[in-house]
Amino acid sequence: MKDEKEDSIDKLFSQGLKDPGSNASYRDEDWDALESMLEGKKPKGVIYRLAYIISGIAALLLLVLGWLFLNPAQKTDKTTPQVVKTKPQAKQDSGKYGTPDEQLADRKTQAPAAGNNSADNAPAKNRPGQSFFTLSADSGGRKNAGQIAKTDVAPKLPTVKLPSDTIIVTDKAVNNMAVNKAKVDTIIITDKAAANMANNKAKADTVITPKKPVLASVVDDIKPKKKTKGVSSSMGFKPTFALSFIASPDINSVKGFSQNKVGTNAGLLLTVGVSKKWSISTGAIYADKPYLTDFSNYSSAYQFNTNPTSVSASCIVLDIPINVGYQLYNNGGNKFSLGTGLSSYFMLRENYTFNYAGSYPGGPTSYNIRNQNKHIMGVLNLNATYQREVSSKFGVAVQPYFKVPLTGIGYGQVNLKSAGVAVGVTWNINTRIKP
Amino acid sequence: MGEEELNQLVRGCLKDDRLSQKLLYKAFYGFAMGICLRYATNRYEASEIMNQGFYKVFKNLTKYDITKPFKAWLGRIMVNTSIDYYRSNLKIAYTEELEKAEHINDTELADRNLNYNELLDMIGQLPRAYRTIFNLFAIEGYTHEEIGDMLNISTGTSKSNLHKAREKLKIMIAKSNKMPGLNNTGLDNRQQSNSNNIVSITHTDLSPSFVKNVSKQ
């Protein structure tokens, strides 16, 4: 074992990684994230993430079940909007750390989880609550601390009431605090510590280092801050870009999904990550959308002598989507996000075949047009994406999606819904930027 | 920071005083981040782990023994939080044919002084399991038996993963020796010159032997 320990590569790394230097320099964003955790929002633990995942899966299931079990004859028109509604609802839950019940459950599990930590137990095994600190922590102090936390909303004089027997507060320091009317970090420094602090003036705007140990005021360089609740971003963000090639079988239907035909989709998408959670994607998807529908769902200016019973269509569509995505989960190379947005359909080619009841058609049997119709922002997109990184640059993605028209599609002004599961490869153009 | 100042901050933290918590956080940020960066894939992840660690520190501060060095206790929590993070992320066992690096000898390793960023980048490229075991053994100083217990793996797995981690690192070092132009030595020098700005509180290091003592107690 000793030989292994003395391996030169171990030494190289253990010595070389001793001092992180400016790589580990303090960031306010990190404190903000921790502060929001301390203010009652749970740390991002496994359970916490599970809530996200479960709500995401629930939204997906609702979506899928909605498509599959719609009764087209009776309910299509009413149920479709309901399906659409369920998604934001589920999303809302996941965005707010779960339902109250989940939050309660989270809190219950939180304490034992922290207590389970072997680090906590190891040094403290033989000291059950008898430490000096436990004895000195009185309830009054806790109340004060609570007040401080609440006053974070507006610029204020910090009402820090540390025990008078432990901290010496000079009048001068108090005056300083009053004049500054900003958040003030207080620290007591001795001669030795003062020397240390003097070297770190970049961190503190003013440092008073008198000969005797006194209270120094370190005016915090951050804001009288208005907390942006829910922001748990732990650092500054640079936009990220990812290019994806996707392809999918595309199930098309006009009413419900009982009469459906399967087409194909393929296209390129560019996704821009605008924050840690939010992204915008756009691109071009070439889609072949065949469908079959009753003639009653088809509107035409042409007056048929005898109405056809049904219409078979084959449309070639260029789909230009603009979607926003919200990442619910990102861990260990697995990402899960929900997205919505609008698509513009450019109908490149529309071929309609009219089917008649009798053997002798009472009207035209087909109708073909090219580049006649376009529907700018005419289709609502809903999707959920699971992405797995296979390397730092490349990932694979699976994306169930649902496209609901907001306007009639094509010459026949049909309510053409599409659903499918797209699979794709993603090239992360600028990921793994180590700050 | 002297002992008394630290104790006062700890007392403040025990009363959930946000200001004391922030000062303590600021004071030990560099130290804690230094540990978490080694276990994480990137800075985002390191920040997340570190904050989880500090959350545990603040919530379990009553368990801290004032007679023991605080920095060592904090270091242990950061390491353990990193391990927890590793556990929660290790869903797929990592298997990979290893490129043999036995032809690379130690003299090649010493060709050039690798700076912190280069070393961190290399360690960051290791699969999470290798990285965790390498950190625990080579840097934290745990034995394979202890690592086996911590990660719930056999001693043999720990040894073999350590070996693979070293092999991979050797290959990375050998490659970087062949392409020294790609290294960001200049950047690092610039960063090093600023490193004095980091608040360093005490000078005690989390040495392997020390950690062991703490854990045994």
Helix (H) or strand (E) holding A342: strand A334-355
Nearest by Cα to A163 from A178, A141, A142, A185: A141
A335: nearest Cα among A326, A325, A327, A347? A327
Nearest to B165 by CA among B143, B137, B193, B140: B137
Which range of A172-186, A356-370, B71-85, B168-182 scores highest in mean pLDDT? It is B71-85
> What global pTM score does this model have?
0.38
* Chain B residues with beta carbon closer than 8 angstroms to that of A30: 29, 47, 50-51
What would the two tokens of residue A94 be? 């996941």
Nearest to B18 by CA among A82, A167, A415, A39: A39
Instruction: Give the residues across from A284 on adjacent strands.
Output: A268
Q: A6-51: per-residue pLDDT in tens?
A: 578 888 888 888 777 777 888 888 888 888 888 775 545 445 555 5
pLDDT confidence of residue A183? 45
Strand partners, A382: A340, A402
Alpha carbon distance, N-terminus to C-terminus of chain A: 36
Question: B26 and A149 in contact (C-beta within 8 Å)?
Answer: no
> Which residue in B has a C-alpha nearest to residue A1's C-alpha?
B143
B10-49 in b/e burial notation, b at 16+ Cβ within 10 A?
A: bbbbbbbbbbbbbbbbbbbbbbbbbbbbbbbbbbbbbbbb
Mutation target for B interface from A5, A7, A11, A12: give the one with most B CBs within 10 A: A12
Q: Is A164 on the interface with B (CB under 8 A)?
A: no
A390 pLDDT more than 70: yes
Measured between beta carbons, the chain B residues lying within 8 angstroms of A122 are 76, 214-215, 217
Question: Mind listing the pLDDT tens digit for each residue in A219-248?
Answer: 343 344 444 444 444 445 678 888 999 999
In Å, how far are A11, A34, A93, B174 from B110, measured between CA atoms? 11, 40, 55, 10
User: Is residue A143's pLDDT more than 60?
Assistant: no
What lies within 8 Å, CB to CB, of A148 at 6+ separation is A158, A159, A160, B17, B18, B19
Shortest CA gap B125–chain A (Å): 9
Asked if A24 and B63 come within 8 Å (Cβ–Cβ), the reply is no
Q: ipTM score here?
A: 0.72
Dist CA A148 CA A157 (whole Å): 10
Task: Identify which of A130, A119, A145 has the alpha carbon closest to the alpha carbon of residue B13.
Answer: A145
Following DSSP, what letter does each residue of B91-146 receive, concatenated?
A: -S----PPPP-TT--HHHHTSS---HHHHHHHHHHS-HHHHHHHIIIIIS---HHH
At B117 the pLDDT is: 85
Whether residue B61 and residue A133 make contact (CB cut-off 8 A), yes or no, is: yes
Rounded to the nearest angstrom, the minimum Cα separation between A205 and chain B is: 13
pLDDT of A384 > 90? The answer is yes
- B contacts of A38 (beta carbons < 8 Å): 18, 21, 55, 58
Is a pLDDT exceeding 70 seen at residue A171?
Answer: no
User: Which residue of chain B comes nearest to A334, CA vs CA?
Assistant: B89
- Who has greater pLDDT, B9 or A106? B9
Give the integer Cα–Cα distance in Å for A26 and B162.
32
Strand A184-189 and strand A374-389: the pairing is unpaired
Number of residues that this document lists for chain B: 217
Number of helical H runs and strand E runs in chain B:
11, 0
Among A14, A118, A122, beta carbon nearest to B139: A14
Which of A148-152, A349-353, A355-359 has the weakest average pLDDT?
A148-152
Residue B198 Cα, gap to closest chain A Cα (Å): 6
